[in-house]
Copies of this chain bind each other. A is one copy, B any other.
């Protein structure tokens, strides 16, 4: 059911439509804030950071005031008690419930705190760029102390009934609770341990040498744009720009902006970050446009979002089928580097596994270890079992325990991610949840006959994208992530699909069994 159909109804929906129109007006401001953030990370002159922080803080204060406007609260109270909330069309019921829940949660947060978080976030992100460049933890420690303390305050305000880490995680993955996430992660960790160890120890595994060479910036730009356009990203409704820490940002129903970084000597840096962000972008471009600014037009959760990005990046983009299709394009774009390399060699090279200090450059097999470590560290800080000042040591120790080596610099360690300076605390676990969801969703897709090898080899991505539009994108935020994955797969959410997928795709290549059970023995 379209929003515009409801708006055409003559009666019975007046209060509902008034609430929705208010929410849509607020979302206009939220997207303007999105532009401030996007611009800050792609375009902003070096000296303009302080003023941008003031702009963002001001806009955040105004947006918060409008979002928590009394009249809207009263209307939503009334609606939540009305028959529409229990007997209306399903999408109307869900919208009322979610707008009401959002309103209650946001109304408990003082505007001053919202403003302060917005200001601190921009200031800390600006400083982060300088801190990474200089590899100086000291530049960040004050900003991070402030940010963690502000977010703890936020958690206590908005969801006082929840554990503070759960309260934060709930903003990104509605309904997720850390004990349950922790239990899933532990199982995943245990199941992956033999594969990780096996890959590290294997001398048979492929190296990424085939992907190193000369990749001129302009040729890369043309190449990656071509790839994601063929996959289905609509450039008339989006962009691709350069940044320090790749992200995807939605500034309107027809304005989805991807960003990446480039390495002229190593193709995967841009190729896989663009495939990843384009996966996010395909989700955003697939959400119901008509419901933009309202829950049915919003993403289910960041875990589901990540499932889409990882699906295109890894399950499609690192497959031999993909490289069979992509190889002629890559060879044409980079003749100098790929003239003597085969498609199979490239497909293997993109699945090399080795300890990497940098999460966003990590391979699929070890990636989740990076995430689990951040999940544990940030939770310990929020639970006040770890001090921000002790983060570098805690980071290095944990990294050494997991990967057998210590980051030589802060830049390759605790400083590498923008999330903490940006205030994205409770966000990291959604990356591994996304990996788990992606494997289970891809399994369901293949059972439905889409995303199959022969389609991908032929560059025919439309069936898979269409299926994702129908089964994942169309429901917006009206379902929670686990319910959605269960609905689409017909099975309980489990890490086992991810484990199987990784063993199947990485085991034999690295001289190991494809069967987790055999490796576990």
Q: Show the binding face of A for B, using Cβ within 8 Å.
A: 25, 28-29, 31-32, 35-36, 39, 43-48, 50-52, 54-55, 58-59, 62, 234-239, 251-256, 292
Contact = CB atoms under 8 A, between A and B. Distances in A.
29 contacts: A28-B54, A29-B62, A31-B55, A32-B32, A32-B36, A32-B55, A35-B36, A35-B39, A43-B43, A43-B239, A44-B255, A45-B235, A45-B236, A45-B237, A45-B239, A45-B254, A45-B255, A46-B237, A47-B234, A47-B237, A47-B255, A48-B237, A48-B254, A48-B255, A50-B254, A51-B254, A51-B255, A51-B292, A52-B252
A252 B51 contact: yes
Contacts of A238: 45
A4 B51 CA distance: 16
A54 B43 CA distance: 23
Contact of A35 (B28, B35, B237): B35
Contacts of A58: 25, 28-29, 32
Contact of A32 (B45, B59, B237, B292): B59
Contacts of A28: 54-55, 58-59
Contacts of A25: 58
Interface centre among A52, A234, A253 (most CB of B within 10 A): A52
Contacts of A235: 45
Number of this chain's copies in the assembly equals 2
Contacts of A251: 48
Per CB-CB distance, the 8 closest pairs between chain A and chain B, nearest first, are A51-B252, A48-B255, A47-B254, A46-B236, A28-B58, A48-B254, A47-B236, A47-B237
A31 B46 CA distance: 17
Nearest to A59: B32
A139 to B, nearest CB: 18
Nearest to A46: B236
A48 to B, nearest CB: 4
A55 B51 CA distance: 21
Contacts of A36: 32, 35
B253 A51 contact: yes
Contacts of A236: 45-47
Contacts of A32: 32, 36, 55, 58-59
Nearest to A63: B62
Nearest to A51: B252
A238 B45 CA distance: 5
Given A29-B58, A31-B51, A45-B237, 18 more contacts: A31-B55, A32-B58, A35-B35, A35-B39, A39-B39, A43-B43, A43-B239, A45-B235, A45-B239, A45-B254, A46-B236, A47-B254, A47-B255, A48-B251, A51-B253, A51-B255, A52-B252, A55-B252
Nearest to A234: B47
Contacts of A54: 28
Nearest to A253: B51
Contacts of A253: 51
A254 B54 CA distance: 13
Interface centre among A25, A31, A36, A51 (most CB of B within 10 A): A51
A221 to B, nearest CB: 13
Contacts of A255: 44-45, 47-48, 51-52
Contacts of A239: 43, 45
Contacts of A51: 31, 252-255, 292
Nearest to A48: B255
Nearest to A54: B28
A50 B253 CA distance: 10
Nearest to A62: B62
A252 B29 contact: no
A42 to B, nearest CB: 9
A62 B25 CA distance: 11
Contacts of A48: 237, 251-252, 254-255
Contacts of A256: 45
Nearest to A235: B45
A52 to B, nearest CB: 7
A440 B251 CA distance: 46
A477 B235 CA distance: 43
A150 B35 CA distance: 28
A45 to B, nearest CB: 5
A32 B40 CA distance: 12
